Amino acid sequence: MFGIFATTANAQLRLPAGYFWKKLPNGLEVLVIENHKVPLATIEIAVKNGAYTEGPEYSGLSHLFEHMFFKANRDYPNQEVFLKRTQQLGAIWNGTTDVERVNYYFTFDRDSLKAGLNFMNAAIRFPIYREEDMKKERPVVDGEFQRAESNPGFQLWFAVQQHLWGNLITRKNPIGIHEVINTATPEKMMIIKNKYYFPNNSLLTICGDIKHEDAFVLAENIFDDWASSGFDPIQKYPIPPFKPLEKSDFFVKETTIAQTPTIMLSWQGPSYLTDSASTVVADVFSTIAGLNSSKLQQALVDKGLASGVSLGYTTSKYVGPIDIFVSPNPNKLKECYTELMNQVSHFADADYYTDAQLKDALAILLRNNIHAKEKPSTLPGQISYDWCSTSFNYYTDQAANYQKVTREDIARYIKKYIAGKPLIGGLIIDPALNKQVNANTFFTAR
């Protein structure tokens, strides 16, 4: 097996050329990426916060916090003034809330870097949760949830998550719970802020047509008086362990919005903390399965049993899921499911893929890695995801480590996480179609 990634605090930091790192005395990590392709700069603050920090009583508040980030703060006391300032800066801005990361970013002219950093400083450190703003934003966030629920794919995904994670479902669902979102108060927003929004739990990334020496000076001058929490939030508020699946569980969900059926299979996959090597191997095997020449594609798509099938793994510090999505031919639903399970049962076969297919997959991953780094404004979000869920070294070494993956690594990964392991299977289907096919008679664990 290729080398396991170092995860200890003493591991030597490795960064790509043009990347520069510094930790301020208050614990804020500052990463500067010099990229002179265009005369722009992007700044991002990422926080180790998200669904994984939320029990049921706070589910969705990290997402609401993201929305409130772009409202009032000490320097810009209402959203109108806030938005006017973004226009003056010529900024493009947004934020995201995921399972293990929340991030906020602005892109603007390189000459606005100092003003942009001051703007970010006010937003991250001195928010004002006005009740009138929350009254407006609660239905916006809940509306996102409702729109998601109108999508049969989301309904299937959510139902699978409930089975996969049990009573820890809120720690894998960033969008939240309706009741929690709709009853959120400024006081609850401050609870989130006072638990996680500290410099020693954050990464500031500055990327673009800049000099790293100048960027570090600006970052220190603006953020050095942001007080550390004095504790590690993730240690003080530990993430409860996800209970391993004890047995497979399959279900059929009927809904009239499912104009075509969808099948989803999910396993509990590797965690970066305990098996970092397998998080890389998972991507390689998923890429093999996605090749047009793969046995999975040929057996389902080429034979007319499905219009599409995909296999993927979500890189996570705390148990990432392995998912298969299938769009079956409604007229061959039983045959599609039977062949899908047949394919899964052969994943571990030595001849399930060829050496040429492994080579093709590695080439695809290399090209994708290069392509992903072509747009400077996306670099902060890519590396902050790894900073939250893996490490800087993981980001730096990922392309090279893909190329080191061997057949033995893939066999070990499949044996450990997929072959013969408990899984969750879900099928979402229109009631009228299910009346014809009676999916409950065959869509069962094997």
Per residue in 298-320, pLDDT (tens digit) is 999 999 999 999 999 999 999 99
**Confidence tier at 79 by pLDDT (50, 70, 90):** confident
- Domain boundaries defined on the chain: 19-236, 249-441
Q: Is the pLDDT of residue 5 over 80?
A: no
Q: What is residue 11's predicted lDDT score, i.e. its pLDDT?
A: 65
User: CA 59 to CA 51: how far, in whole Å?
Assistant: 7
Tell me 384's DSSP state. H
Q: What is residue 310's predicted lDDT score, i.e. its pLDDT?
A: 98
For residue range 135-144, list pLDDT tens digits in order: 999 999 999 9
Q: Is the pLDDT of residue 9 over 70?
A: no
Q: Is the pLDDT of residue 2 over 70?
A: no
Q: Is the pLDDT of residue 446 over 80?
A: no
Q: Is the pLDDT of residue 297 over 60?
A: yes
What's the token pair of residue 260?
């075509």
Q: Is the pLDDT of residue 324 over 70?
A: yes
Q: What is residue 230's predicted lDDT score, i.e. its pLDDT?
A: 96
Q: Is the pLDDT of residue 436 over 80?
A: yes
**How far does the chain reach from its first CA to its final CA, in angstroms?**
31
Q: Is the pLDDT of residue 1 over 70?
A: no
Q: What percent of the chain has pLDDT over 90?
A: 96
Q: How many CA atoms lie within 13 A of 376 on its CB side?
A: 25
Q: Is the pLDDT of residue 8 over 70?
A: no
Kindly state the average pLDDT of the residues 15-25: 97
For residue range 260-285, list pLDDT tens digits in order: 999 999 999 999 999 999 999 999 99
Average pLDDT of the chain is 95
Q: Is the pLDDT of residue 6 over 60?
A: no
Q: What is residue 141's predicted lDDT score, i.e. its pLDDT?
A: 93
User: CA 220 to CA 407: how far, in whole Å?
Assistant: 47
**Confidence tier at 7 by pLDDT (50, 70, 90):** very low
User: Has domain 19-236 been given CATH number 3.30.499.10?
Assistant: no
Dihedral (Cα; 310, 315, 316, 317), 10-degree rounding: 150
What's the token pair of residue 283?
């991507």
User: Has domain 249-441 been given CATH number 3.30.830.10?
Assistant: yes
The DSSP-derived string for 193-252 is HHHH-SGGGEEEEEEESS-HHHHHHHHHHHHTTS---SS-HHHHSPPPPPPPP-S-EEEE
> Are domains 19-236 and 249-441 of this chain identical in fold?
yes
Kindly state the average pLDDT of the residues 397-419: 98
Kindly state the average pLDDT of the residues 10-16: 84
